[in-house]
Amino acid sequence: MNESPVLAIESSCDETAAAVVVGRRVLSNVIASQAEMHEKWGGVVPEAAARAHVEAIVPVVRNAVMSAGLRYSELRAVAVTNRPGLVGALSVGVTAAKAISHTLKIPLIGIHHLEGHLLSILAIEGDIPFPHLALIVSGGHTELVAVQAPGGYNILGETRDDAAGEAFDKGARLLGLGYPGGLAIQNAASSGNPNAYPLPEGLRKSAYEFSFSGLKTAVNRLVDSTPNLNVADAAASLQETIVRSLSRKALEAVEELGYSALSLVGGVAANQSLRDRLQAGCQRLGIQFLTPPLSLCTDNAAMIGLAAVTRLSRGEQDSLDLDVWPNSELPRLLAI
Ligand code: KG4
Ligand code: ZN
């Protein structure tokens, strides 16, 4: 399976994505984003997302196969995110993957979205040390995960309330910077002073738990009580508070647990300030810092393909009655 082209599909939220991977090489990675459509609502509307996936899925898959320089007949397996996510959105990808599996008579495999994020680092050149500690930061999750090996994960801590991506998105909405908020905050922050407006760092003393809901309340209060708010300074202060909280805890945890590497994955891993802070922290601790290229941080299908290769090479596959699961825990036990 390591040298066979695998087509992967991801449609769990608001990106319709398809990719082709061979082993750890990403041959194509195509993404049709619905962000513009959801922007006017300030968030993802599930029904509209599902309909947009229906329209985009066929051209996106075709584009992924063609830009990999392949014909459909050269694909050896099809992988798809089947959990967790919006049920209507997931169903579109899973239905397409089943049709492709049935028509081409190739194996089908369902992948957990977070396993995709965790294994997105396989796209980096060089050896990936296992076990290592992972910080997953996305729109729906903020978790510290012990990655024993591909397929074996142990959640060591998570957020008590909002995810880090939600903190960026809600903060951006309060500051009038639009949706999705992470990149908008990063851009506005580049000309701001991160120490201008002190904001609370949630659960400062607890190493393995995060909390970001107080931050949203504090930004709300700041906006209401500051007539001439400097938006760049507010964005920089918000980014600094989130980055400080995430990096402090991840570095404390990795040091305490004695792992030789820390990975940073998920949409918020695209944040340059967070990447720089963790890179510097890992260097200080003398451990390896692993993070995928920006194109593999926010939702994409290449990471689903990379995770699928590890499962297919262990002989796993699913049948055509593969289900979708809107809620689902990360696979905990090694299926070797
Ligand atoms: O992993 P992802 O694409 O989707 C989920 O699985 O949730 O993560 C999306 C999140 C959004 O909250 C978005 O605002 C955030 O990632 N994000 C960023 C940046 N780019 C995307 N947050 C901070 N800085 C960025 N540059
Ligand atoms: Zn994601």
Q: What is the pLDDT of residues 79-101, one digit of tens each?
A: 999 999 999 999 999 999 999 99
Strand, helix or coil for residue 110:
strand
| Separation CA 321–CA 316 (nearest Å) | 15
Sign (positive or negative) of CA dihedral 186, 189, 191, 193 = negative
138 lines ligand 1 (CB under 6 A): yes
User: 334 falls in which pLDDT band (50, 70, 90)?
Assistant: low
- Report CA-CA distances (Å) from 183 to 169, 212, 244, 267: 9, 18, 17, 10
Ligand index nearest the alpha carbon of residue 138: 1
Provide the CA 97 distance to its chain's centre, in angstroms: 21
Query: Taking all residues of the chain, what is their mean pLDDT, rounded to a whole number?
Result: 95
How far does residue 266's CA lie from ligand 2's centre (Å)?
Answer: 6
Strands 132-137 and 261-265: parallel
How far does residue 312's CA lie from ligand 2's centre (Å)?
Answer: 22
**Residue 311 dihedral angles phi and psi, to the nearest 5°:** -75, -45
212 lines ligand 1 (CB under 6 A): no
> By mean pLDDT, which of 34-43, 143-152, 228-237 is the weakest?
34-43
Q: Which two tokens stand for residue 122?
A: 């396989």
3-state SS, one letter per residue, for 41-61:
CCCCCHHHHHHHHHHHHHHHH
Instruction: Fill in the DSSP letter of residue 72.
Output: G
User: 212 falls in which pLDDT band (50, 70, 90)?
Assistant: very high
168 lines ligand 1 (CB under 6 A): yes
State the pTM of this model. Answer: 0.96
What is the pLDDT averaged over residues 110-135? 97
Ligand index nearest the alpha carbon of residue 39: 1
How far does residue 25's CA lie from ligand 2's centre (Å)?
Answer: 20
Radius of gyration, alpha carbons of the chain: 20
Report pLDDT for 34. 85
Report pLDDT for 336. 43
| Separation CA 137–CA 166 (nearest Å) | 10
Q: What is the pLDDT of residues 308-317, one digit of tens each?
A: 999 999 999 9
Provide the CA 331 distance to its chain's centre, in angstroms: 16
